Structure 1
Amino acid sequence: MRRALRQIGAIIAILFILFMNVGSFALQAHAAGDWDAPKWDAPKWDAPTWDAPTWEVEEWESPDWELSEWKATEWKSPEWELSEWKAPEWNGSEWVVPNLNSPMHQGGNGKQESVNDNVNIDDPESSVKLPDGTTIPTDKEGPTHPTLDKIVPQPEEPFFTIDGPTPYSGGKLAKDIAKETINFVDKVLKNQDDIDYDPLKDFGKSGKNMIYSGFKTFTKGDTTLETGAQVYDFVKGAKNLKGKYDTYKEFIDIKRLKDAGDVAASLQKYDDLVRAGKTFTPANAIVSAITLPFTVKDTYDNVNKLKNASTAEEKRNTRWDLAGNAGELLTGTAAFVALVPGGQPIAAGMVVVGGVLVLASSAHKLIRNRKEIVADLKKKGKAIADGAKKTWGKITSIFK
């Protein structure tokens, strides 16, 4: 095999040397011109016939392996001796379970079977008496858990609990706006000949009253804000009542001067009242026509509330509210009485009496709600203090 490889390698080397300068052979051939290449007769080779030898494969016989027998050792687990535990005996009191409205406690005849003879299922105020003497109230809805609010986190209450305006309170706001507008126009018309009159001053007052009416409308429901408005109205009403009483006394003086025959003095005094804007005008009647329907509606609601009152306290509080409604009715109808000749002094007296009733009702409302007012003030004060502490803590944490 190696010899054949050497021969092949020698032939390849000879051919490489011969054809390495093929360019020189081409130049010589071109210079020599055309030549006829001799014809070579390739000898015929007789290839010998190879007879493939026949191989005989011996048969292998697999030896028989004899495996030794393994004897597994037997493991014996150690015996553990467990000590005997004796459960302590609990001497608990026997609980008596009330029969609740559950299908599993109902008999075949549809009636409930009580597991405790001391419990009356039909009585919502029945109770269960334990062996130790403790009495547990029960009801048909099952036991309650007074400490549940401590287990489940409750949502944080807002600082202001405002319910917002209703259609009825919105109507009252529109009534107040119309009232202030009419009163402003009336003042301008009465003082149009006065060169020292400043309409912007009255316009500012009317605008402030409108804003205040809107504030009361949109802060309904919060105890502190409503109380602040009630206190402001009470102080303002007491101040106005003093002025109305002075006006009533001046009307009495005018009547006295007129009855005495001093017409000139009475007319001069009346003219002073007109200039001061203390007399009744048709504009007051228009305002009363707008406000009286709301007063009648509030009075009607309080009358029904008095009829449906179940406790003496509710009845007493409703009567005081009705006293305030009566005062508003007197004040509202006084403007119509003043239109009658000679009715100005009477109307002035009606306004004073009505103002006293309204103030008394407002004072009683503040007194009877004092506990709720104080509780709400404490709650808001605590919220402000907690907020201040948190804010101070955040500020001081920046410099740490």
Structure 2
Amino acid sequence: MSVLWIGGYESATKLDATLVVKQGSTTTQNSPSDQSDVDRGKRPKLDSSPDFSRSPTDVSSTTSVTVSMDKSPQKDERGGHSDYDAALNLLRSNPPEQRLDFHLPYSQYLKLEECWSKIRMARNISEDQKYPYLAYDSATVIATVVTLPRALHERAAVELTPMILDSAKKYLYSHGADASLVRSIGAAGSTTFNGVYRSYSRSKKQADGTVLYTPFGGLSKVMIAIEVGYSQDYTALCRNKDQWVEGQLVKVCVLVYLDESPRFRNPRTLNESVGDVSAEMEEMGRSMAESVIRDYSRGYYGSIEYRGHKWVGDLNEAFIEVWRANKRQPIRYQLLQNAWSCNRLPKTIGLKVSDFVPDEDFKAANIPDSSLSFDAILYVDILGRSMQATAQQRYLEFISP
């Protein structure tokens, strides 16, 4: 088994307790370490810490703040550091699995973006580095900082995009589509796009996945955007969707919602040093294997424990929603409920071949429209494997010096 090393250009730092953070922190609390396990050599002896869960319909509270560009931290009305300073802290440190949404006037967002650009330049951080990133929703006047995600979030988007692309291209080829038409359809990954229409003209957004249509010699257009919410509140995920459907006029926005319950918390105890990290990760892999294989074979995607601590909670719910520009409600395709795989997994997620091509070009191609097939069994299996990788990432970060 290979050891999974954690990305990010700096280690996580503790944040002020007043921060409005949307995803679970992996910061270890300062409490005395237990004695080593004599039988196993120096190993972390862990105790559990309180976990919490959140409903998909919970709405996060945000506070509008006034900020300055002074070097000293600004205080908000509650006496804590401002959300602006919290955003800079997250951008500098890039702690895993955190998201900060807060109200910020556009003029102040530009200053925040300028400050972040200076930090990147000073630290020689490449523009190609995906995380952390800064986004802005001009319709709701909300700035967002997103930091390094885990494997479960990343693969949910990275694997979905080629699955739907392959399905569309196979259909087009099988119906005699011109090769130039098929070549015009491609993925753009997590490219950042600026808003164009309506109140989103000042928005800046990076989707978790996008499908572009780029005709030879023509301009690229986003046809399909994919947004993944990993224990992110559902309302915020829908705000992301609005930026694409209303701000970019995409044909379809696909939302993937994943709910880990209970949410992950690091153990209360500080980790003790581990002599051979690679050997310890091998031991974790062997320990997980039996229970994971047993659970997944019966369609159960429950928590993953090691040394008495949950490194991943139950994947309590997973669904895909397809939002269309001309529809007020989405179509939802349920994958997991109460950590169990649904008895009848969908064979399509409602995407049509015409969703990948502008209307005038699709009409000119004279190809019959059709819903595209989707291998939900494979996709759920990918989610399960990503749970294992996420557990390994979290544990490796905990024991690493």
TM normalised by structure 2 equals 0.19
TM normalised by structure 1 equals 0.19
Give the helix-richer structure, 1 or 2.
1
Query: Which one has a bigger Cα radius of gyration?
Result: 1
